[in-house]
Amino acid sequence: MKALVYTGKQELEYREAADPSPQGDDCLIRVASVGICGSDMHAYLGHDERRPAPLILGHEAAGVVVAGPGEGRRVTVNPLVSCMRCAACASGRENLCPHRQIISMPPRQGAFAQYVCLPQRNLVEIPDGFADDKAALAEPLACGWHAVKLAMRALHQPARECVALVLGGGAIGVGAALSLQAKGFASATVAEAHAGRREFSRSRIALNCVHPDELEGSQFDLVIDAVGLAATRRVASSLARPGGVIVHIGLGEAEGGLDIRRMTLQEITFIGTYTYTMQDFRDTAAAMFDGRLGALDWCDIRPLAEGGEAFADLYHGRVDAPKIILNPDHA
């Protein structure tokens, strides 16, 4: 098969690779659409020791089952494979499974390829008429959906009375903002420093997207950090109102930023959130399919063969859209 292979720091090769071999109840999926995630970018830059080269990256995918249970179904894929036997899995928190694996991280190759393997339980069928490029957004949108769900449990008033802020206008931040709207929050503001992305979010997605400098003096019941840098954690610490909640999704850097003294004195709740549960993924897909998360027409679509240029464009800030979707060539 053809695949986009990460071969070293800032190096990607579009080349022949071995076809994946389904194991157990795995399905073989012909990939139709696959998104570039921030974690793929971290690996590309040599910042993720969990993703050593050579490796096929990519975990935000949709396609069609060509072998295994449900052959012929169009599906979007939950890339997180858990054991389904441990206490975390038994409690419905499969994302915390100590044996979890994710495609694009050894031992599982990713979806920047013509084919990928996943267990049948990780697949959600796509309804007729719903585009593959949109279906591939289920994974990043599920991250925001899960984050908002956890936040709602910690807030001390109903969502309709809460004002929320999302730091970061990439796909994770956009997904969080759309989830806030779908779940009835009083308002949802997105803060994004990149001018092109900010204007794109306003004009194409109809989000209230502002420059971070415009937030000075504001206070929010909920702050979602979809970036995860020391600088954004510092902003979150300062803008969460007393008794408010900070939910942290981003993995930009590991240390610094939180104002622990203010958070303690003002009883601000901090929640770390990782991916989503299987139920969250299914619920997100259902919300996408019935239109609760909007038109989902805000992606930059490119051929997989041009994936190297797409990564370079992201690195150099030349992309305004929150997400690039790559389409493999199945010819």
Q: Which pair of tokens denotes residue 74?
A: 């169009």
Q: The tokens of 166 are what?
A: 């999302």
In the prediction, which pLDDT does 330 show?
Answer: 52
**Whole-model pTM?**
0.95
**Alpha helix segments (H runs only) across 45-137:** 87-90, 132-135
Among candidates 89, 120, 94, which has minimal Cα distance to 25?
Answer: 120
The tally of CA atoms less than 13 A away on the side-chain side of residue 299 is 32
The one-digit pLDDT tens for each residue of the chain (331 residues) are: 999 999 999 999 999 999 998 888 899 999 999 999 999 999 999 988 999 999 999 999 999 999 999 999 999 999 999 999 999 999 999 999 999 999 999 999 999 999 999 999 999 999 999 999 999 999 999 999 999 999 999 999 999 999 999 999 999 999 999 999 999 999 999 999 999 999 999 999 999 999 999 999 999 999 999 999 999 999 999 999 999 999 999 988 889 999 999 999 999 999 999 999 999 999 999 999 999 999 999 999 999 999 999 999 999 999 999 999 999 975 4
Residue 254: per-residue pLDDT? 87
Q: What CA–CA distance (Å, rounded) separates 43 from 110?
A: 12
Indicate the SS3 state at residue 170. Answer: coil
| 41 dihedral zone (left: phi>0; alpha: psi -120 to 50; beta) | alpha
pLDDT at 236: 97
CATH fold of 141-272, please? Rossmann fold (3.40.50)
Which CATH number applies to 2-137+296-327? 3.90.180.10
d(C-alpha 185, C-alpha 287), whole Å: 16
> CA-CA distance, 104 to 55, in Å (whole number)?
7
* Residue 80 near residue 289 (C-beta atoms within 8 A): no
How is the chain split into domains, by residue range? 2-137+296-327, 141-272
- Label residues 307-318 b or e (16+ Cβ within 10 Å = b): beebbebbeeee
Distance CA 330, CA 314 (A): 25
pLDDT value, residue 331: 40
